[in-house]
Amino acid sequence: MASRVVFPCFPVSILLVLLLSSSAANAQLSTNFYARTCPRLEIIVRNAMIQAVRRETRIAASILRLFFHDCFVNGCDASILLDDTPTFTGEKNALPNQNSVRGFEVIDAIKANVESACNATVSCADILALATRVGVVLLGGPSWQVPLGRRDARTASLSAANSQIPPPFANLTALISSFASKGLNTRDLTALSGAHTIGLARCTTFRGHIYNDTNIDPTFAATRRANCPVSGGDNNLAPLDIQTPTRFNNDYYRNLLVRRGLLHSDQELFNGGSQDSLVRTYATNPIAFANDFAAAMVRMGNISPLTGTNGEIRRNCRVVN
Catalytic residue positions? 69
Residue with smaller CB distance to ligand NAG, 79 or 265: 265
Spatial contact of 105 and 17, defined as CB atoms under 8 Å apart: no
Tell me the C-alpha distance between 131 and 294, whole Å.
Answer: 14
Residues 203-222 interacting with ligand NAG (rule: CB under 6 A): 207-208, 211-212
209 is in an annotated binding site: no
Among 230, 232, 272, 309, indicate the residue that binds ligand NAG (CB under 6 A).
230
244 is in an annotated binding site: yes
Among 170, 257, 288, 298, indicate the residue that binds ligand HEM (CB under 6 A).
170
For residue 30, what are the β-bridge partners? 148
Residue with smaller CB distance to ligand HEM, 38 or 210: 210
Instruction: Convert the chain into a string of H (helix), E (strand) and C (coil).
Output: CHHHHHCCCHHHHHHHHHHHHHHHHCCCCECCCCCCCCCCHHHHHHHHHHHHHHHCCCHHHHHHHHHHHHHCCCCCCCHHHCCCECCECCCCCCCCCCCCCCCHHHHHHHHHHHHHHCCCCCCHHHHHHHHHHHHHHHCCCCCCCCCECCEECCCCCHHHHHHHCCCCCCCHHHHHHHHHCCCCCHHHHHHHHHHHHCCEEEHHHHHHHHHHCCCCCHHHHHHHHCCCCCCCCCCCEEECCCCCCCCCCCHHHHHHHCCCCCCHHHHHCCCCCCCHHHHHHHHHCHHHHHHHHHHHHHHHHCCCCECCCCCECCCECCECC
73 is in an annotated binding site: yes
**Site track for ligand NAG across 166-195, x = CB under 6 A:** -----x-xx---------------------
Cβ-based neighbours of 105, under 8 Å, separated by 6 or more: none
241 is in an annotated binding site: yes
Among 41, 129, 175, 317, indicate the residue that binds ligand HEM (CB under 6 A).
175
Stretch that binds ligand HEM, among 36-44, 77-85, 108-116, 191-199 (CB under 6 A): 191-199
91 is in an annotated binding site: yes
Stretch that binds ligand HEM, among 111-119, 155-163, 196-204, 208-216 (CB under 6 A): 196-204
Closest to 100 measured CA to CA, from 171, 168, 192: 168
Residue 298 in the binding site for ligand HEM (CB under 6 A): no
Residues 82-141 interacting with ligand NAG (rule: CB under 6 A): 119-120
Residues 231-270 interacting with ligand HEM (rule: CB under 6 A): 240, 263, 265
Among 64, 124, 130, 153, indicate the residue that binds ligand HEM (CB under 6 A).
64
Binding site for Ca(2+), by residue number, is 70, 73, 75, 77, 79, 91, 197, 241, 244
Residues at the site binding ligand NAG, with contacts judged by CB under 6 A: 119-120, 171, 173-174, 207-208, 211-212, 230
Binding site, by residue number, is 70, 73, 75, 77, 79, 91, 166, 196-197, 241, 244
Residues at the site binding ligand HEM, with contacts judged by CB under 6 A: 58, 61-62, 64-65, 68, 100, 102, 166-168, 170, 175, 192-193, 195-196, 198-202, 205, 240, 263, 265
Binding site for heme b, by residue number, is 196
